[in-house]
Each structure stands twice: as C-alpha cells, then as structure tokens.
Amino acid sequence: MESLAARLGYSFKNPGLLKQALTHCSAGKVNNERLEFLGDAVLGLIISDLLYHKFPAASEGELSRVRAGLVQQSTLADIARTLRLGEHLILGSGELKTGGANRDSILADAMEALLSALYLDGGMQVCEERIGLWFSPLLNLLHQQEPPKDPKTTLQEYLQARKLALPAYAIVKIQGKDHEQEFSVQCSVVMLQEPVVGSGSSRKEAEQQAATEVLRKIRLQS
C-alpha cells in the first residue's frame, strides 16, 4: 500500500478506507459499492466545476456532453491503470480467475471508490487536487472556447459532409450482472469493409467507443 500511496500522492489517515475502496463486491460484504456511489457524485461535481470555468460560453448541453466523455468508464479505467490500481484490488476467486483486475468496469468502479475514500479521509480539496492532476492531460486537450463534439456526432457530420450513408449501430452482446452489465455494439459504415465493435457499461457508451474506433480507422486510411 505504501507504493500505491506514493503514486496517489496522498497518505491515508484511515488506511481502512483505502482497503475498502479496493475491495470488489465479489470479495465479501464489506466492499467498495457504497464508496462508488459517493465517489461518482464527487467526481461529477469537480469535473463539472472545472468545465464550467474552462468553457464560459458553453451551453448546458455542451458541458454535459464533455463531462460524460471525461467520466466515462474507459477514461476512469485508463487512469486506474496509470495508477496501477489493478495490482492492489481485492477480488473474489472467480474474478481473479477471469482477469477481473484488468476489466474496465471493475477498474472504473475502484477509481470512483478511491475518490470517495480520498474525500472522506482528506476532504474536497484533496479530491480537487488529485482529479485536477489525473485529468489534466485530457482537460488540456480541450479548447477554451469550443468544447469538442462527441465521437458519434463527429462521425455523423464527417459522413454527411461527404454525402455518404449514416452509420448503423447494433447491439451484438450484453454480458454481466444487472448492476454491472457490459454492452458490445457494432458500428457499420460504407467506408469500412468490416463493422467495428465498441464496449461500455451502457449502450450509449459502447456506441461512442465504436464511433471513436471507426474514426480512427478512417483516418488511417486517408
């Protein structure tokens, strides 16, 4: 835990909070589910505040769209991997056998629980500092006056500008329990021979991820 505390840049006064934040529900009754609930709210508030001040001319809809992109499961999982949270997760035997320590949904949930633990142990200022640091590479990519469009909108406008058929999305698989389902959605466009599959904790998130991959493949072709 000392190595993790060093990567977090914070030493817990109550180490039990950190342990609980890293404990998946498969490992027992005392787990990180309640912390996830609070952490999601803390993250949403701080990211909302950052975007509110970064984009003074943006509408509510634009701010909501950018926030959704920043707090989505894949983004949180990437930050968790940077912090190497997976090495410290406490999982049940089933999740250990199936590679749960590297699953996006589990890493993202642990990230939210970690933020909750930081909030309860150190207060809002600590969370603001850590979130500001961890999200700074993504926030720095955003232009001051014009929030970026989400991948689905970007892809649609790209195809419309070239008078091509709009992308077609279809669910190909839903797996997992009700409270932690993972959706797989394929996106088909005329410019690619094969459909591209994206995944996420909701259909919307999976569609956005698929659109992102389609845009990447189209750019590689051009």
In the chain, where are the structural domains located?
A: 2-141, 151-221
Domain 151-221 of CATH type 3.40.50.880? no
One of 1.10.1520.10, 2.40.50.140, 3.40.50.10470, 3.50.50.100 is the CATH number of 2-141, namely: 1.10.1520.10
Q: By C-alpha distance, which of 121, 101, 124, 84 is closest to 1?
A: 84
82 contact partners, CB below 8 Å, separation of at least 6:
134
pLDDT tens for each residue of 89-106: 999 998 988 898 999 999
Whether the pLDDT of residue 205 is over 60: the answer is yes
Exactly one of 36, 40, 121, 182 is catalytic; name it: 40
Residue 222: the pLDDT is 65
112 is a catalytic site residue: yes
Q: What are 169's two structure tokens?
A: 């999305």
pTM of the model: 0.68
Does position 147 have pLDDT exceeding 70, yes or no? no
pLDDT digits (tens, 9 = 90+) for 112-121: 999 999 999 9
Residue 145: pLDDT band (50, 70, 90) is low
DSSP 8-state symbol, 99? T
Which one of 36, 95, 109, 112 is the catalytic residue?
112
CA distance 185 to 37: 26
Please tell me the predicted confidence (pLDDT) of residue 10: 94
Can 40 be counted among the known catalytic residues?
yes
DSSP-derived 3-state class of residue 110: helix
